[in-house]
Structure 1
Amino acid sequence: MNEATFSGGDTEVPQERIDELDAELRAMPSLEATVDEYRQMGDSITEQITRIAPTVVWTPDPQHGDNLNTCSGDWLPTAGRQIQLRRWTSAAPIPDAAWGQALEVARAAAAEKGITVETTNRDRPGDHSVAFTNAAGAKVNLGSKVAAVLSVRTPCRLPEHGDSSAPPES
């Protein structure tokens, strides 16, 4: 947690600070609009990677649908929510010869959304995993080993109608 926002481990966050953070969230696009925007980003990444590597055919992962989460970090005590979008998967991995281009597609798409902190989890022949994150909690993760996977998480946003109990309809 950011100690500039929270004054210590067990200290309660003052209501004034929560109100400030909620006001910041109200000035941003709604969770529903953000979900649509981030789903389009994921679709664009997968389409571009398939153009680079035609054996990589993406489908929504039926076992991992959209998942509503509370926000983390500074945004934890707010009414904001994040959505871990359903995953895009391909039974065929991204070939090593195309990995660099595929990674650049994901990097550029993430950067357009301000998701610029890059973490390489694995980068060896036939086994790649890179995550892009930002302070608002957004994340883009691209991996390839036996198969390929792309996952996207929205930043913290307020639900349009105040109902934060279920993910927005896709």
Structure 2
Amino acid sequence: MNRLIRATLAGLIAAALVLELAGCGGDDRTGSPMSATPDPSRLAKQFADLVQRPDIDQATARYEAMSGQIRDALSRVYPDLRWRQTSQLTGAACGFGYPGLETDGEQRGLANWMAPGSIPDGRWDEAVQVVRTVALKYGFDKVVTTVSRPEDHEVVFSDLYDAELNFGSAVNTTLLVRTGCHLTAEAKKRGHPAFSPSGS
């Protein structure tokens, strides 16, 4: 599939998630798995785990810096790449895995980047190594090949916070980053969940 189409679809899915949370009962705590009353001990543990992570603004800044360094490194090796931003940053609540933390936690899709044209098959492994060298400095030490066909390649790097870095090349070359779940700065400063399962 064309990387630009994939990037566009990813942006549309993220936007749909935001609209779903904002307009279809995101604040209603009854009647859906997202709003089911969470187990108090699980809520406390998840919040305590998230407190150990950077807040969402810190994480976003770090990943944006990584993305910029990767684009610069690739452009030095492949001078024909001309990167342009194809979407804006999007955000949503952390999802079904974090019931009760919908107002405390957030995950974001960073702006997508695309360069018209592809990296030749014979140089794809070299390109992955360029990305890996930068990504490792930011803790992205896991990599999975998701597409490997002639003139169509994609790998996904991830870190211990479940962030994902997608790098692909087909008709276009793309770079996408999605964060894992992080507390807002306000929630982290508060030090406890805004929602109390006991209702207190």
Q: TM-score, normalised by structure 1?
A: 0.77
- Which structure has more helix as a fraction of its residues? 2
* CA RMSD in angstroms, aligned pairs only: 2.2
Residue of structure 2 equivalent to 1:39: 64
Q: In the alignment, which residue of structure 2 is the partner of 1:156?
A: 181
What is the identity, as a one-letter code, of the residue corresponding to 1:149? T
Partners in 2 of 1:34 and 1:69 — Cα distance? 15
Bigger radius of gyration among the two: 2
The offset of 1:77, in angstroms, is: 4.4
CA distance in 2, matches of 1:73, 1:103: 32
Q: CA deviation at 1:60?
A: 1.0
1:95 correspondence with 2:107: no
Equivalent residue, structure 2, for 1:109: 134
Q: Which residue of 1 aligns with 2:88?
A: 65
**Counterpart amino acid of residue 138 in structure 1:** A
Deviation of the 1:157 alpha carbon: 1.0
- Mapped pair 1:28 → 2:26: no
Count of residues paired in the alignment: 151
Taking the TM superposition and a 5 Å limit, the aligned residue runs for 1:4-15 are 13-15=38-40
Structure 1 position 73, deviation (Å): 7.0
Whole-Å separation in 2 of the counterparts to 1:57 and 1:85: 19
Q: 1:73 to 1:114 in 2, by over 3 A?
A: farther
* 1:71–1:137 contact (8 Å) kept in structure 2: no
In structure 1, the partner of 2:18 is none
Identity level (%): 28
Partners of 2:160 and 2:38 lie apart in 1 by 19
Q: Deviations over 1:21-55 (max 9, x none)?
A: 21222232211111111001001111101111111
Q: Distance in 1 between the 2:170 and 2:99 partners? A: 34
- Stretches of structure 1 that go unaligned for 5 or more consecutive residues are 1-9, 163-170
The DSSP-based 3-state class of the residue aligned with 2:76 is helix
Amino acid at match of 2:56: L
The worse-fitting range, judged by mean Cα deviation, of 92-101 and 35-44 is 92-101
Distance change in 2, residues 1:72/1:132 (3 Å): farther
